[in-house]
Amino acid sequence: MRIDPTTQAQLLELSEIRTGIDVNKARRESLPERAELTRLVSDASQSRTETARSRLASRDMESDVRKLEADLEKLRRREADDRQTLGVVADPSRRKDLEHDLRSTQRRRELLQEELSEVRQKREAYAANAGDAVTRAEDAVAAARRALESAEEPLLNDDVRLHKELEILRGKIEAEVLRKFDRLESDIGVAVARIDGRTCQSCFMELDAPTLDTFTALPADEVTRCPECGAYLVRPKTLAASKKY
């Protein structure tokens, strides 16, 4: 198959632009800022889950607080009743029972007050930590997004430039040649490549000496293909000839 050297050079440039676009995409996907954003988004999701649990726990504790407060109020009334009754009862046996009940009630009230204080502190801690954790996580995600946008910007700008060059170049090549190029690219990936010394720059396999001798003897407009991967190989002879057009 024969394709004029200028078109072969254009196909090579087209293929190299495609490779540049793919490299840009790979670089964007492997940016450390992207990995950090992914990690922080996961952390934020976990933080929201933990926050929901904390708020639920806080509401549950609110019910516990109300119950403890009600129990504490009953003990206070009982304690007050015992003291009031002791002030008017003279019977020794009755007074002994009241004093015993008063001491018991006081101990229970003190223990209940301590328990109530602990539950209130836990409830407040859950409520406070819930909001703070989500805010910190969301702030970290926002900062990571800004860092990623900053790191991606030059790559995205380069991507826009490459796509414009690709479009302009495709407009210079005959439609039938483009169809063959597109089919080959779909089949093997890198459709057109240089020969670097003895190496095919599509599959990076070294060509044997007889194959290279055959390629050298061919005219500049003859299309050569890598015997390993099938890519069109643009020879130095062809590139040199393309500059004369």
Strand partners, 222: 2
Cα 61 to Cα 55: distance, rounded to the nearest angstrom: 10
pLDDT at 129: 65
Torsion-angle region of 91 (φ positive above 0: left; ψ -120 to 50: alpha; else: beta) = beta
Span 167-222, pLDDT tens digits: 999 999 999 999 999 999 999 999 999 999 899 999 999 999 999 999 999 999 99
Average pLDDT across the chain, whole number: 90
Give the integer Cα–Cα distance in Å for 166 and 22.
Answer: 13
- The list of the chain residues with pLDDT below 70 reads 127-131, 244-245
Tokens of 232: 């069109």
First to last CA, the chain: 19
Q: In the prediction, which pLDDT does 245 show?
A: 44
- How does DSSP classify residue 195? E
Cα 91 from chain centroid? 79
In this prediction, residue 131 carries a pLDDT of 65
**Residue 130 confidence (pLDDT):** 62
Residue 212, pLDDT score:
93
